[in-house]
Structure 1
Amino acid sequence: MFEVLVYLYENYWRPDACPDHDQLTRKLSAVGFETDEIQEALVWLDGLAENAQAYAADQSSDSLRVYSTAEIDRLGEDSIGFVSFLESAGVLPPAMREMVIDRATAVGECPLALEDLKVIVLMVFWSLGEEPDALILDELFVAPEERLIH
């Protein structure tokens, strides 16, 4: 599923630039994605679209997030740490954080791989028509061992 999401991010600049589900399914199949993977991604994207609508209504600036045991098990320590890092850096407001957590818990993997969480964060920005700043893109795409220290 994550390969489909990355493909959509790279090929469609915003969600509304994507064709309808039937046409998108045909395009993704033609590129070589499996039907099950495509359907899983489309269902996941529908949930993301619902969250994006709710995001517009909830722009609260302060909140404290306490993770349930089930969320900790599902997300894993690395993913929760990364979400906390993005929050403390001021790039992931509470409503977006909740979108990330919702979409991360919608994935069947347990615990969620950090690389998959990074794709989810990227897709949340994409769904809202927002471009993360360059430093955040670096965090999302560049492996720590490949970073150059100046």
Structure 2
Amino acid sequence: MFDVLVYLYETYWRPDACPDHAQLTRKLASVGFETDEIREALSWLDGLAAAAESHVGTQGAQSLRVYSPAEQEHLGEASIGFISFLESAGVLPPPMREMVIDRASAIPGGPVDLEDLKIIVLMVFWSLGEEPDALILDELFVDEDERLIH
């Protein structure tokens, strides 16, 4: 599913640039994605669109997020730490944080892999028509093992 999401992010600038589900399904299948993978991704994107609509106009007031034990188990320590890092850096306001948590919670299994969480964060920005700044994009795309320390 995450490969489909990355493909959509790289291919379409905004969600409204995507064709309807039927046409998009055909296009994704012609590129080589499996039917189940496409169906999962499109269902996940429908949930993302619903979350984006419900957060439109929500103020970015400061808030403290307390994770339930179930959320802690599902998200995992690394993912919660990364969400906290983005919040403290001022790039993930509370409404977007809640969208990230909602969409991460929609992923079966757990804990959520950090690389998968980064894709979720990227897709939340994408769904709202926002582009994270260059440093955050670097954080989302570059694997820690591949980073050069200057």
Task: Report SS of the residue matched to 2:6.
Answer: helix
Match of 1:118 in 2: 118
Equivalent residues, number: 150
Q: Where does 1:26-65 land on structure 2 (aligned, <5 Å)?
A: 26-65=26-65
Following superposition, the deviation at residue 149 of structure 1 comes to 2.1
Q: 2:139 is matched with which residue?
A: 139
Q: Using the alignment, how far apart are the partners of 1:114 and 1:99 within structure 2?
A: 16
Query: Cα RMSD (Å) of the superposition?
Result: 0.7
Give every structure 1 segment of 4 or more consecutive aligned residues whose post-TM-superposition deviation is greater than 2 Å: none
Report deviation, 1:148: 2.0
Q: Match for residue 130 of structure 1? A: 130
Structure 2 unmatched runs, 5+:
none
Query: How far off its partner does 1:60 sit?
Result: 3.4
Secondary structure at the counterpart of residue 57 of structure 1: coil
Q: Distance in 2 between matches of 1:109 and 1:7?
A: 23
Q: 1:117-136 CA distances to partner (integer Å, 9 max, x unpaired)?
A: 00000000000000000000
TM-score normalised according to structure 2 size: 0.98
- Sequence identity, in percent? 76
* Alignment-mate amino acid for residue 57 of structure 1: G
Counterpart of 2:102?
102
In the alignment, the residues of structure 1 paired with residue 17 and residue 142 of structure 2 have an alpha-carbon distance, to the nearest angstrom, of 27
The two structures have a TM-score, normalised by structure 1, of: 0.98
2:15, 2:94 → 1: CA distance? 22
- Shift of residue 57, structure 1, vs aligned partner: 3.2
Hey, what does 2:70 align to over in structure 1? 70
Matched residue type, 1:110: G
1:13-44, Cα deviation, whole Å (9 max, x unpaired): 00000000000000000001000110000010
